[in-house]
Amino acid sequence: MTQRLTENQIILVKRKTRLEDLIARYNTIGQARYYIEHLGSDFSDYTTEDGQYRQAVSEVQATLGTLARVQVVDREFIPNFLFGEQDVVVVIGQDGLVANTMKYLSTQMLVGVNPDPARWDGVLLPFRVSDLHLVAPEVFRHRRPIREVSMAKVTLNDGQSLYGVNDLFIGQRTHVSSRYRIQLGTRHELQSSSGIIVSTGLGSTGWLRSVITGASGIAGEISGNRQKQPLDTKMPWNADYLLFSVREPFPSRTTRTDLVFGKLTNTTPLKILSQMPENGVIFSDGVENDFLHFNSGIEAVVTVAEKKGHLVV
């Protein structure tokens, strides 16, 4: 009988592959193949990815099983899963799966594993499957460096809250205008826009960069002062502040566009009061189906979260 290294539990977080999602939608692999090939796409890419991922998950589970008790959890169950304080969390997937898992953790260490380095760059996936037999024991002995990751937190006046590892979106579920009152410190105004993005340091090279780059490009073309170098929006992962940007703000007789970008801290939080009768939402990290309702009368206060992520590197 193999002697385990620790009695602490390892939570192995995995996701469905594109092939599994297709089979769930079309009932059989044959129907899924017909759909993809009918559109002129290569179905073998889906099966190759699925096979590689399944093999990686199997190898990781076998390796970790020699060290500790392992519980496998699918991504869809993470929002309602209860993590133990001493659990070590291993995520095998893409960067998004790491972010989606981290926001539900508190003090637990998180290990990101890249199941297919030829396919995924993996900024948050520093380890390969073959690394785990060396890395995991060092994690249990607290001999691996940890990189702290600041998170965003939004709290509503009805008591609900939501965390974001990369970013928060605040606005309309659909493409119609989002209407609200925004306040940062003593500055405040009514706005109509396509919504507000609040970014952490980790997410500052993602959605926020896209929004700022697009706005800068448009302004440059109109003014003739084109930006030749890519805009640097990078922030430290453990920054004690967040950046926000208003998407496509619209000036009118009742709405203004003076407060469209800035820095917020815990001493100067961002406050948004919804004026949307319906379909107002707040979600984080691109997960639209895990959201808070943000309709008329609800006020959201955005701050740096009181907890941080702990990414093993």
Distance CA 127, CA 137 (A): 14
pLDDT the model gives residue 169: 97
281, burial (CB in 10 Å: exposed 0-12, middle 13-18, buried 19+): buried
Which two three-digit tokens encode residue 245?
Answer: 């940007």
Residue 1 confidence class, pLDDT cut points 50, 70, 90:
very low
Q: Check: pTM over 0.85? Answer yes or no.
A: yes
Band the pLDDT of 217: cuts 50, 70, 90: confident
Name the residue type at position 270: L
Task: Read off the pLDDT band of 91 (50, 70, 90).
Answer: very high
Chain segment 251-294, per-residue pLDDT in tens:
999 999 999 999 999 999 999 999 999 999 999 998 888 899 99
Which CATH number describes the domain made up of 9-144? 3.40.50
Instruction: Name the DSSP letter for residue 6.
Output: -
Domain ranges, ordered by start, for the chain: 9-144, 150-305
Res 5: pLDDT: 62
pLDDT for 279 equals 96
pLDDT in tens, 14-26: 999 999 999 999 9
pLDDT surpasses 70 at 2: no
| Residue 227 clears pLDDT 80, i.e. is over it | no
Q: What residues contact residue 283 under an 8 Å CB cut-off, 6+ apart?
A: 162, 168, 169, 290, 291, 292
Where are the extended beta strands (E) located within the chain?
A: 9-14, 69-74, 88-92, 109-114, 127-128, 146-156, 161-164, 167-172, 178-184, 187-193, 196-199, 242-246, 261-264, 270-274, 280-284, 291-293, 299-312
**Of residues 96, 17, 13, the one with CA closest to residue 60:** 13
Sign of CA dihedral 177, 183, 189, 190: positive
Which one of 3.40.190.10, 3.40.630.30, 3.50.50.60, 2.60.200.30 gives the CATH number of domain 150-305? 2.60.200.30
3-state helix, strand, coil in the chain (%, to 5): 25, 30, 40
Q: Which amino acid is at 279?
A: N
Average pLDDT over the chain reads 93
The answer to whether the CB of 181 falls within 8 A of the CB of 189 is yes
- Residue 229 predicted with pLDDT over 70: no
